[in-house]
A = this chain, B = another copy of it.
Amino acid sequence: MTGGFTRDDLSDDEVARRAALYGPFTEAVRGLVDATIRTTVRDDEIDRARVEVEAITARLRQQQLPGAYGVSYGPDGRGRPWGNSVVGLRNPIAPPLVTERHESGDGRVWCDFHLGAAYEGPPGLVHGGVLALVLDQMLGESAGAGGRPGMTGTLTLRYRQATPLGPLRTEAWIDRTEGIKTWAKGHVAGPDGVTVEAEGVFILPRWARDRASVDQG
């Protein structure tokens, strides 16, 4: 039920129903996160909001998973990483990125997204580490989209120019593969072009190696 890969055999309809319930709720909490950083209301309003937030949290905690969310998957084997820090439908920390991919299986993935006040490093700019977070996810998704899922082995980022908060685009693709290793590349671009480039090596996990050998016969 938690903290692992869990097969739950939910129907597509049930998955859609849950997404329609938890998606808007999580989006509401994202709005609160933004307002928490930016509000300038009176001190007593802050205290009142704190007491109310604590009460909501206490009600939500009356029944909860004992640990982190993990990854659920259905009969088709497609994972639902709803707790993921970058793409998680139920994680208010995730912007969230909703990635698109070529159906050709060449590992090309991309996403238009928006980063607001919660992702700030230097004033008005995206935190360099947030860009690393986004690109680690994107390069990993590229490897997975190319049929080469993996854990990050190394990740290298080159910051070409500052990245302003606001609308951004990110892309990633597989550069080459060799044995259990996949080299993926990608970047983030702002209104003035590419701001950060990334290259990563992803290591095919044991279960995927076993599956590959089974697939091969």
Complex contacts, A41 vs chain B, CB 8 Å: 59-60, 62-64
- The answer to whether the Cβ of A75 comes within 8 Å of any Cβ in the partner chain is no
Complex contacts, A32 vs chain B, CB 8 Å: 29, 32, 53, 56-57, 60, 92
Complex contacts, A50 vs chain B, CB 8 Å: 24-25, 28
Instruction: State whether A56 touches B52 (Cβ < 8 A).
Output: yes
Complex contacts, A189 vs chain B, CB 8 Å: none
A3-B124, A21-B47, A130-B133 known; A57-B70 Cβ under 8 A = no
Complex contacts, A155 vs chain B, CB 8 Å: 128, 132, 156-157, 159
- The answer to whether the Cβ of A180 comes within 8 Å of any Cβ in the partner chain is no
Instruction: State whether A154 touches B157 (Cβ < 8 A).
Output: yes
A28-B50, A33-B93, A123-B5 known; A60-B84 Cβ under 8 A = no
Ranked 9 nearest A-B pairs via Cβ: A129-B136, A129-B133, A132-B132, A39-B60, A68-B117, A35-B60, A128-B152, A70-B123, A38-B64
The CA of A139 and the CA of B186, in the complex, are separated in Å by 23
A37-B83, A83-B37 known; A154-B151 Cβ under 8 A = no
Range for the number of chain A residues in contact with chain B: 35 or more
- The answer to whether the Cβ of A184 comes within 8 Å of any Cβ in the partner chain is no
> Which A31-69 residues sit within 8 Å CB-CB of chain B?
31-33, 35-41, 43, 45-47, 49-50, 52-54, 56-57, 59-65, 67-69
Instruction: State whether B40 touches A92 (Cβ < 8 A).
Output: no
- The answer to whether the Cβ of A193 comes within 8 Å of any Cβ in the partner chain is no
Chain A residues at the B interface, C-beta cutoff of 8 Å: 2-5, 21-22, 24-26, 28-29, 31-33, 35-41, 43, 45-47, 49-50, 52-54, 56-57, 59-65, 67-71, 82-86, 88, 90-93, 116-124, 127-130, 132-137, 140, 151-159, 162, 165
The CA of A122 and the CA of B129, in the complex, are separated in Å by 19
Instruction: State whether A159 touches B154 (Cβ < 8 A).
Output: yes
